[in-house]
Amino acid sequence: MITDTSLFTTPNSVIMVKLFNFTRTCLPFIFCMFVTLPAFSQVDKNSTPEDEGIDFYVGSWNSTLKWADIANKPIFAYIHSPLKKDCEQMLTKVFTNHSLTDLLQDNFVSVKVDMQTAEGIAFRTKHEIREYPMYMFFDDKGNVIGQEVGALSIDRMIDLAQQYATSPDIQKVSNEENNPFYTDYIDMNVEYENGNRHTDFLYDYTYMLKDYNESYDHVVAEYLKKPRTSDKALQYILDFSVDTESIAYKRLVNDKNLLKLVGLDAVDKKVRAAIETSVVKAANSRSASDMERALASLKKVSIRKGDIFEAEMRTMYYETVKDWNGYSNAVAGLIDKQFNKLSADYLSTAAWNVVSHLNTKEQLAKAEAWITRAVELEANNYQSAKVNAVVQYQAGKRKKATKEIDRAIYTATSGKEKASKTELSELRKIQSLMKAKKPLNTVLGK
């Protein structure tokens, strides 16, 4: 597969056209070699020495399905977040095992799905993913055939891979059937280099580049040189408004006529998705200015409860980059707007994050107000009682803290929602530290 598109922008493009025409006459043989080699998949351009054992395919989910169909292999999807230690340890401690990597490489199209990316967020929603690392196995048509979660040992991963590996007697798809899919990509690159700017061609070419995970904004710009308002063009604009920096998105939010034609519901959904993608990118690069630039587009287009959405995005950003003062201020802003609508779990988590990382009187006062509200909402929630106990203890209210941790343990052992052994052990550890009047640093991760 061609991954270096600069090949099509050299002064010798005419020679390249002849070369590709020659290549097509030999393509069945060449393609057969590509399919049977592990290197057929693109290698993750961002791979590091720690995860170089697996050649993770890079591309959209649709193109992943196409490659799996061509190779007649099931898909192994590693669902991860760079923010979780367990996820990184799987890459550095487990996926570097040669027996495992060989097994995955020979029998699967392997992909990494980062939960901090736009496609990861969509993937998480579609498959209702709640925790990670997670390991999902799909057949070559994209149907889920198995999954497991948590940090796994090498032996357990090998067992899973063997369980879902393709059986040896499955035959590869014939080259004649494969050729059209593979050659389309080559042909369209050559056509574009040779000056084809027909509207329908640009439309199809953009989607092809997207499927191959190649840059396409330059093609979007050419397609949108002229005003386009057909239903097909409007959907195109929505499809390529992937983040707030994309050309399609900028065209959308700066054109009142387009906003009206697209409709309030579609605009609302797209603006939220594009901003969230950009904020996630900003958090991954730790760029507050990028976050502010993404949120600035809210001044150009109105969405439902835009002020609340903005506060949610700020909260997400500051939590991801672990700027806890910024996080506390963002949560305070959201709570001011949504005090009566936020859940006990949200308030409890916010209070825990603040008390775990900040210890000033002002911040503890915020945490106390939030956890008090959480307890009001769910009096029999042992998690809220635990957080309340820790907040009170850190604020110097020892008697109230002891009472709350006792209540948390009672609720965890006799309430409707009982705690796991691990959770109960943590509660008893907090209780022991409080009785001994010792700091809670080990519990708070300090």
**pLDDT computed for residue 401 by the predictor:** 95
Tens of pLDDT along 212-266? Answer: 778 899 999 999 999 899 999 999 999 999 999 999 999 999 999 999 999 999 9
As a three-state string, the secondary structure of 289-334 is HHHHHHHHHHHCCCCCCHHHHHHHHHHHHHHHHCCHHHHHHHHHHH
Domains identified in the chain and CATH numbers = 5-164 (3.40.30.10), 322-444 (1.25.40.10)
The per-residue b/e assignment along 152-186, b for 16 or more CB within 10 angstroms, e otherwise, is: beeeebbebbeebbeeeeeeeeebeebeeebeebb
Using DSSP's 3-state secondary structure scheme, residue 50 falls into coil
Question: Please, what is the Cα angle at 52 between 46 and 56, to 5 degrees?
Answer: 65
Cβ neighbours around 125 below 10 Å, total: 9
Place of tokens 């799987």: 90
Q: Is the pLDDT of residue 284 over 70?
A: yes
Distance CA 442, CA 430 (A): 9
> Could you tell me the pTM of the whole model?
0.62
**pLDDT computed for residue 59 by the predictor:** 75
Q: Is the pLDDT of residue 66 over 90?
A: no
Among residues 107, 156, 101, 99, which one has the least CA distance to residue 133? 156
Tens of pLDDT along 285-329? Answer: 999 999 999 999 999 998 988 888 998 899 999 999 999 999 999
**pLDDT computed for residue 249 by the predictor:** 96
Output the average pLDDT for the chain.
82
Among residues 308, 309, 282, which one has the least CA distance to residue 293? 282
Mode of pairing for the β-strands spanning 134-138 and 75-80: antiparallel
Q: Is the pLDDT of residue 2 over 60?
A: no
Give mean pLDDT, residues 174-200. Answer: 72
DSSP conformation letters of 239-254: HT--STTSHHHHHHHT
Report the chain's C-alpha Rg in angstroms: 26
Among residues 366, 304, 379, which one has the least CA distance to residue 330? 366
**pLDDT computed for residue 64 by the predictor:** 84
